[in-house]
Structures are given as structure tokens and as C-alpha cells.
Chains A and B, each alone.
Chain A
Amino acid sequence: GAGVSQSPSNKVTEKGKDVELRCDPISGHTALYWYRQRLGQGLEFLIYFQGNSAPDKSGLPSDRFSAERTGESVSTLTIQRTQQEDSAVYLCASTPVGGSYEQYFGPGTRLTVT
């Protein structure tokens, strides 16, 4: 079946603009995660959604970052008033349930803030 998809694949934006990144998880996967990866570094956890439970937002770096997910479908990550330090690859992953399973990653969105 189809894997995790993300759009856009690349986004260039000017400092101060808002951006919205989209993630389509694998159908039936109840858990969804967002990560940020700066150049040459590992992945930083941002936010976790599990079904209709309250999301774990503990990784969001500032109040400029927010994410939404309706049920077990698409999620959007919004960054308001983008800064140059927001430049990174944003990765989304999903798992069948919110337990200790392997995560299935999308190809990521490369965000460049000029």
C-alpha cells in the first residue's frame, strides 16, 4: 500500500511568512509523529498524535509552531512568522498503534527560510 506522504517536498519562504506542511499517514495508522532535522544532525521530536487523545506537544520549540490532526487522518504542521533557524527538513512518521513499533517515515519537507 501507499506509504507516508508529505507535501510540499521543498518549500522556500521569506523570513516572517507563515508556512503549512502536510502529512498523510499510512491508512489505518493511529499514531503520527512530527520531527525536525537540521542539516547534519539527528531528528528532534516535535509533536505526537494518537487517535483522539490530546497530543503530546512537548517538543514544539516555540509558540510559533502548531500542529493539527483530525482523527486518524491528515496532519498539518504550521510555522508562523518563520525565522532562518526554522530551516530544516521536517519529517512525519506514523505507526499502527501508539506502542513500541517501528515508525514509517515520509520523505520529508525541506524548508528553507531566506
Chain B
Amino acid sequence: SQQGEEDPQALSIQEGENATMNCSYKTSINNLQWYRQNSGRGLVHLILIRSNEREKHSGRLRVTLDTSKKSSSLLITASRAADTASYFCATASSGGYNKLIFGAGTRLAVHP
């Protein structure tokens, strides 16, 4: 069964606006990762946040993690048309190896 569930499933915004995507999961995690996928092919790692971290930044990306609510959010500020892609959260369970469980993703469309 899927661990991460993203919402919304699809998001359409104008360039310059912020985009917020949410992810919920079910079991204890070691870390949570966000990936981006263009055109349904290879994924690119964006950011990793560990279970003992609450917030992390990377450029225009801001990720938060609330382990009490088993949820995470990805914020993209000042979006660009080039940010158009699908975004996935993936969780790595506590213990064991880095077997990632992916959600179904959020499809983001940024219009010029």
C-alpha cells in the first residue's frame, strides 16, 4: 500500500505565485524526500528532511515536516514556467534500508 499521499493531485498557478503541495504518510519514518519528475521519466531529488528536523530550505524550496501529524509540505516560491512537473514525496521507514515508498504525486502547471 502507498505510504505517502499528496494533495492536491493537480495544481495550476501563474508564474510568480507560490505553490504548496502536501504529503501525508502512515508509519514511522527515518526521513522524507521530495522528488520532481518531468515528462513521466527520470526523477530528480529535490530535498531530504530527516525525522528530527522540522524545516529545511533549498533555494526557492521550503519543506516542513510534522511527525506528530505524519505530514509534510513542499513550498515553491516565486514559481516559474520551468517548475512545471510532477512532484512526489517519498518516505524511508525507520530501521532497515532506504526503501522509499512514493505517493501518487502532485502535477504542477505554472503558466507564463
Interface residues of A (CB under 8 A from B): 4, 31, 33, 35, 37, 39-45, 48, 50, 56, 89, 91, 93, 95, 98-108
Given contacts A41-B104, A42-B104, A99 and B43 within 8 Å (CB-CB): no
A17 shortest CB reach to chain B, Å: 23
A31 shortest CB reach to chain B, Å: 7
Interface residues of B (CB under 8 A from A): 2, 4, 30-31, 33, 35, 40-45, 48, 50, 88, 90, 92, 97-105
B45's partner among A39, A99, A104 (CB-CB below 8 A) is A104
Q: A102-B48, A105-B44, A106-B42 are in contact. List 15 more A-B contacts (CB 8 A).
A: A42-B2, A42-B4, A42-B105, A43-B88, A56-B99, A89-B41, A91-B42, A91-B43, A93-B43, A100-B50, A103-B33, A103-B100, A105-B43, A108-B40, A108-B41
Top 5 A-B pairs ranked by shortest CB distance? Answer: A102-B45, A42-B102, A43-B102, A98-B97, A107-B42
How far is it, in angstroms, between the C-alpha of A91 and the C-alpha of B43 when the chains are bound?
9
A37 shortest CB reach to chain B, Å: 7
Contact of B98 with A101 in the complex, beta carbons under 8 Å: yes
Contact count A vs B, C-beta below 8 Å? 69
The interface residues of chain A lying within 8 Å CB-to-CB of B41 are 89, 107-108
The interface residues of chain B lying within 8 Å CB-to-CB of A107 are 41-42
A107 nearest CB neighbor, chain B only? B42
The interface residues of chain A lying within 8 Å CB-to-CB of B104 are 40-42
The interface residues of chain B lying within 8 Å CB-to-CB of A50 are 97
B86 shortest CB reach to chain A, Å: 9
A99 nearest CB neighbor, chain B only? B98
